[in-house]
Structure 1
Amino acid sequence: MKVGFISDTHGSESRWMLAYNKYFKDADVIVHAGDVLYHGPRNPILPDYNPAKLAEHINAVHCPVIICRGNCDSEVDQLVLETPIQVPYALAFVDGRRIVVNHGHCCMSNEEKDSLAKAMKADIFVSGHIHTNVLEKRGETVFLNPGSPSLSKREDEKATVAVLEQDVVRIYDIDADEVLMELKI
């Protein structure tokens, strides 16, 4: 089973397509941790900002897409997305694992995330919002932030997504096709 993880696309059609074509086209499930279509008032408008076209691409995906609402997502986005935007978290059972997704803007600290992960009995806890990567195991839970393919806030500004395959989570630089982080679960 292959699971793709993405967050904070912010309406960037080309960055979604790059991530999808390189990493997700053969995925069984794609998990989006929020901030899907809108660029957000503090973010620059991206050169390829096209939320309507991005919604079309997401609607055309061959596998289920699980979306958790981010702070830049709105009810109006649901009018163009066929997949429900779930709030305040999304819950999925994939290949025997309980995956909990929360965008992260209402659950920022590790203590808050640990508490929610414990309450939800999460095997994998996915968040976004900060546009930087997290991949670590605390207790029995893997905590993952795939970063952003379009508005990276990493020091090196690498655009990233994550993939779970064969019990290994990898975070990729989607431009260099390089593994930046890896964790066996």
Structure 2
Amino acid sequence: MKVLIVSDSHGLEQELLAIKERHQQEVHAMIHCGDSELSSDSNEMANFLSVRGNCDYDKHYINDRLEQIGELRFLVTHGHLYNVKMSLMNLHYKADETEADVVCFGHSHVAGAEMIDGTLFINPGSILLPRMRKEPTYAILETNGNNIVVHFYEVNGTVMQSMSQTFGR
């Protein structure tokens, strides 16, 4: 199973469409972690499981969502309501409360993945304004037997091998 994860596109349309078109046939789900700054019914956001970021004003976006995708339970949020720029502690508590296997979030624009107490936290970075690196990024999670592999990509689709990580389930 594969899941595309993107966040913090901040109004980008062509880039978001290109990412979606590049991967939509190979992934089982597509997640947008907020701050799209696009209408929830726009063509760019079609088929994304999306949430509201602090820069999203469309009232149809929700703050958090729980999704069962394959064998994994995903908690999707932007992160601003959990103070993720300071710590993942509040988001970790929410993950425990919801029994999430994977947490997808954005807000900080810092790409990364880490396992905390058996829960995988993924921030795909930003496809417009990355922080802590120059390349705009998004991610694809892939289950592979007893492992979960997270690959990060540049907006043009180039895999960032040095950022790829494998986690045990």
Q: Is the Cα contact below 8 Å between 1:35 and 1:69 reproduced in 2?
A: yes
1:122 Cα shift? 1.0
Q: After the TM superposition, which of the residue ranges 170-179 and 117-126 deviates more from structure 2? A: 170-179
Gaps of 5+ in 2: none
Gaps of 5+ in 1: 38-50, 79-84
Q: What corresponds to 2:76 in structure 1?
A: 101
1:144 Cα shift? 0.4
Mapping for residues 71-82 of structure 1, pairs under 5 Å = 71-75=54-58, 78=60
The 2-side partners of 1:161 and 1:174 are apart by: 7
Q: After the TM superposition, which of the residue ranges 118-127 and 174-183 deviates more from structure 2? A: 174-183
Q: What corresponds to 1:2 in structure 2?
A: 2
Q: What corresponds to 2:17 in structure 1?
A: 17
1:17 Cα shift? 2.3
1:89-140 deviations in Å (ceiling 9; x for gaps): 1110011111001211111222112111111111001110011112010111
Q: Is the Cα contact below 8 Å between 1:135 and 1:183 reproduced in 2?
A: no
Q: Does 1:168 align with 2:149?
A: yes
Please tell me the residue identity of whatever aligns with 2:116: R
Give TM-score, length-normalised by structure 1: 0.77
Mapping for residues 2-81 of structure 1, pairs under 5 Å = 2-37=2-37, 51=38, 55-59=42-46, 64-75=47-58, 78=60
Shift in alpha-carbon separation, 1:24–1:148, aligned structure 2, 3 A: farther
1:20 Cα shift? 1.8
Q: What corresponds to 1:42 in structure 2?
A: none
Q: Is the Cα contact below 8 Å between 1:172 and 1:181 reproduced in 2?
A: no
Q: What corresponds to 1:136 in structure 2?
A: 114
The 2-side partners of 1:18 and 1:184 are apart by: 28
Q: Is the Cα contact below 8 Å between 1:10 and 1:35 reproduced in 2?
A: yes
Give TM-score, length-normalised by structure 2: 0.84
Give aligned pairs, total. Answer: 158
* CA-based RMSD: 2.0
